[in-house]
Amino acid sequence: MTPATQLLGFLWVALVAGAILTVIYQFALTPADLQPDVGLKGLKRKAILDEQGLFNVIEPLMRWLARRIASLPIQDTRDGINTQLREAGEYLGLTADEYLALCVLSSLMLLVAGVVIDKLTSIGGIVILMFAGFGSIIPHMQVSGEIERRFKQVNRGLPHAIDLVALTMSAGLDFPGALRQVTEKTADKSDALYEELTRILQELELGRTRKQALLAFAERSPTESVRDFVSAVVQAEEKGNPLAEVLQIQATMLRMRRSIAAEESAARAGVLMMGPLMLIFCTIMMIILGPFAVNIASGHGI
């Protein structure tokens, strides 16, 4: 290789390195997104930051990375993530880009952990990649678990809340006043149903119609119980039926549905217990017959 060729190779490497460093420098100069400070996202973000946990450490880096992800043309993905976050009660006050940034950071953290473990135990490259892949889905698992928890709380508390609303409306209160009475008497302020009813009241105070506020509730908690409740209230309002009577019927139907679901779960539990019981039975038989089998195999007889 001639000196001229070597010089051209060095210049090429220098240009590529300079371009990479320039891109990194431009990324570094771009400021991070601002923290959400209004609405439900702002309240959720402030609450989690006040806990002074691990999220406080990674939150600035997450916002910085989210600013870079914001330029990617993945609007359909963002729409799907926003739907999940809305159903999760605006989990951690995240935006769609921050959620993606959190997935990237989680993947990198477990990738580093996998590399460190590999240096100590030589687990192999495949396991390291599995670490990184698992890290990328941890935020999704957290959000999915939050969605399931909220749906269970809403379905569990909705019949009782509807009963109270119907009772207070029969005593002379209007629908917003009845909802306000239910929320004021709620002991657990972190309950998902309390948050949803409070949000309905806030939207009514901001000028949205009852139908719009209830349909938004059905979008945030798209369970069968919520859809039936919203449909019953909207139809009663449109047709002029007495809302208190409609709510009493709806509460009775929801309680019956919950009882049927509990009976079905109890029936399935007996079938699901057959597998563990068979394993326990086989283990006991092995413990009892094991010594005899060893004696026979060794030629000593019983």
pLDDT in tens, 175-228: 888 888 888 887 777 888 888 888 888 888 888 888 888 898 888 888 888 888
Placement of tokens 């973000």 in the chain = 45
Write down the pLDDT at residue 33: 57
The whole-model pTM stands at 0.71
Percent of the chain at pLDDT > 90 equals 0
CA 20 from chain centre, in angstroms, equals 37
Q: Is the pLDDT of residue 13 over 80?
A: no
Placement of tokens 């019956």 in the chain = 256
- Closest by Cα among 189, 193, 192, 134 to 160: 193
pLDDT in tens, 229-255: 888 888 887 877 777 777 777 777 777
Write down the pLDDT at residue 244: 77
pLDDT in tens, 110-168: 888 887 777 777 766 677 788 888 888 888 998 999 999 998 888 888 888 888 888 88
* Number of other CB atoms surrounding residue 281 within 10 Å: 10
163 Cβ contact partners less than 8 Å away, ≥ 6 residues apart: 247, 248, 251
Q: Which domains does the chain have, with CATH numbers?
A: 30-123 (no CATH), 149-260 (1.20.81)
Best mean pLDDT range from 39-48, 129-138, 282-291: 129-138
Q: Which two tokens stand for residue 270?
A: 């007996």
